[in-house]
Amino acid sequence: MDYIDKYADIQSIIHRRDARIKVISLFACVISVIITKPDSYTTFVFYGILILALVLLSKIPIKYILKRSLVIIPFILAIAVFIPFLKEGETLWSYPMGPLKLKITYQGVTLFWNILIKAYLSALCMILLTSSTRFFELLKAFEGLKMPKIMVMIFSFMHRYLFILRDELMIMKRAKDSRSINGNSWFHTKALSNMLGVLFIRSYERGEAVYLAMCSRGFDGSIRTMGNPELTKKDLYFLLIIITLLILGRFV
Amino acid sequence: MSENVVKIENLSYSYPDGNVALKNVNLNVKSGETLGIVGPNGAGKSTLLLHLNGILRGKGYIRVLNIALNDKNLKAIRSKVGMVFQDPDNQLFMPTVFEDIAFGPMNMGLSKDEVKAAVKKALEKVDMLDSMERISHHLSFGEKKRIAIATVLSMNPEILVLDEPTSNLDPKHRRNLINLLKELKITKIIATHDLEMVLDICQQVVLIDHGTIIAQGKGIEILADKNLMESHSLEVPLSILYRQSSTWLEGDY
């Protein structure tokens, strides 16, 4: 399993920004992209260049970012591929298929391109955010931005114990493989379902044990945290520049 | 030095399914001493430990540092009794080492600066000051064990309770951990199967089996009692046997 914050430890102007500033800036980018009119092509180009510039500034290998961003393409295609055919409007191209007529409309194509570019640019923003920020710093930022503490705590536990559960599953799989030399695929499927059951019970028991450890250290149900560090001037300048550019982009 | 910091009288406990885990346990622990709790698997060692800070509440009377253990005093007692669990992954539940060690002090209501100072001091004690910003998941097993101890040291406890502190450690890290425990000059209560460690650091030993205290006394006296040890699924540590056996030194065994 790959860490999503694999490149979070490199030093760059993006990495050094406070996580809250990054969350706000990149969400502002996403919202600006989403509310851009479908035919404002220059604005899309402008935003595209801006986001690409941020990616380059972050010094994260561009290949890594592109590879991760490709993951979302199939999802968008699956959702949007029929839109050019279904949307009513000016016919661009048609093909008779017996009693039915397959046609592509101008409005449909515009909407399709619009969904594609908006989703892709938004995904780039989110990938930049998650890969330039350590996971726990991201959670701290959400806490600083008033996400309920209990949610932050749940995400934090999830991230902390996900890898441990993965290791437990791997050990169980090895134990199973050492004892099942033969056996058809049905046998293996049955074994897998038992393993998942055991894993569930172990997670439950671990949850209890962690709770005991929390109680032993004075946990009484209220979550206390250190809070976020002070914002620096540089952070605020960064936010200001991003917002200015985003507004500027609407007038080019 | 002779003051009793832990006083347990007639403690009995049964698990919800009816299994009796402790029967009429009486135990006194003196200030500053290191007490080893030994006994076979399922004897009730861990159950007894869990009573020391009120995680489990059996029938009987428990006083810790002259405070009776009851609902009202639970919080005060938990900040005085540092409990280190066997599996460090259960003890280290926060994302970073710093936050983990800060968890206890923060629950005690210390200010941010006090919390930071407490974390630093605890890390210094376990000699891992440069790991403050590390992610708990990335620590080695030996490091996790040390940090687990630091997470309770930061609360400045007067009694340290450890469940199997040396289990799964390689000899070098086991030795480091034993040396660390020797350096901590507070009352320690240790449940373990590591009899050599008991011999090394525990002045007093309690032998538990089937939820009752079978024997109690000086470490070397109990551990060297072959009949006693073997009738409770234990054995006399090899180091004692070798010390007693002159033939072994001549290679004739």
Inter-chain residue contact A217 with B107, CB threshold 8 Å: yes
Buried-exposed string B66-89: b where 16+ CB fall within 10 A, e elsewhere? eeebeeebbeebbbbbbbbbbbbb
> For B70-132, what is the HEC assignment?
CHHHHHHHHHHEEEECCCHHHHCCCCEHHHHHHHHHHHCCCCHHHHHHHHHHHHHHCCCHHHC
Contact of A216 with chain B, judged by CB distance below 8 Å, is answered with yes
Residue B240 and residue B220: Cα distance in Å, rounded? 8
pLDDT computed for residue B253 by the predictor:
44
Buried-exposed string B6-45: b where 16+ CB fall within 10 A, e elsewhere? bbbeebebeeeeeeebbbebebebeeeebbbbbbeeebbb
Residue B92 and residue A160: Cα distance in Å, rounded? 9
CB count within 10 Å of CB A165 equals 15
Q: Which of A159, A206, A218 sits opposite B79 (nearest CB)?
A: A218
Q: Closest Cα of chain B to A32: distance in Å?
A: 33
Inter-chain residue contact B95 with A136, CB threshold 8 Å: yes
Buried-exposed string B123-143: b where 16+ CB fall within 10 A, e elsewhere? bebbebeebeeebbbebeebb
Residues of chain B with pLDDT > 90: what percent? 81
Mean pLDDT of B56-79: 91
User: What are the φ/ψ torsions at residue B109 (nearest 5 degrees)?
Assistant: 85, 25
Give residues 102 to 161 of B whose Cβ lies within 8 Å of A. 102-104, 106-108, 112, 115, 135-137, 151-152, 155
Residue A180 half-sphere exposure toward CB, CA atoms < 13 A: 16
From B125, B79, B136, select the one nearest B106 (Cα to Cα). Answer: B79
Long-range residue pairs from A155-160, CB within 8 A, at least 24 positions apart, any chain? A156/B94, A156/B95, A157/A210, A157/B93, A159/A135, A159/B95, A160/B93, A160/B94, A160/B95, A160/B136, A160/B137
* Pairing assessment for the beta strands A100-105 and A91-97 based on DSSP bridges: antiparallel
Cβ atoms of B78 and B114 closer than 8 Å: no
Q: Which of A157, A160, A209 sits opposite B85 (nearest CB)?
A: A209
Q: Closest Cα of chain B to A196: distance in Å?
A: 21
pTM over 0.90: no
Q: Closest Cα of chain B to A13: distance in Å?
A: 20
Q: How confident is the model at residue B250 (pLDDT cuts 50, 70, 90)?
A: low
Task: Please list every residue in chain A whose beta carbon sits closer than 8 Å to the beta carbon of residue B155.
Answer: 217-218
What ipTM was assigned to the predicted interfaces of this complex? 0.87
Residue B14 and residue B210: Cα distance in Å, rounded? 12
Tens-digit pLDDT profile for chain A (252 aa)? 456 778 888 889 899 999 999 999 999 999 999 999 888 889 999 999 999 999 999 999 999 999 989 888 888 888 888 888 777 777 777 777 777 777 888 888 888 889 999 999 999 999 999 999 988 889 999 999 999 999 999 999 998 998 889 889 999 989 888 887 776 778 778 888 889 999 999 999 999 999 999 999 989 888 888 878 889 999 999 999 999 999 999 887
Residue B87 and residue B78: Cα distance in Å, rounded? 19
pLDDT in tens, B70-123: 888 888 899 999 999 999 999 999 989 999 999 999 999 899 999 999 999 999
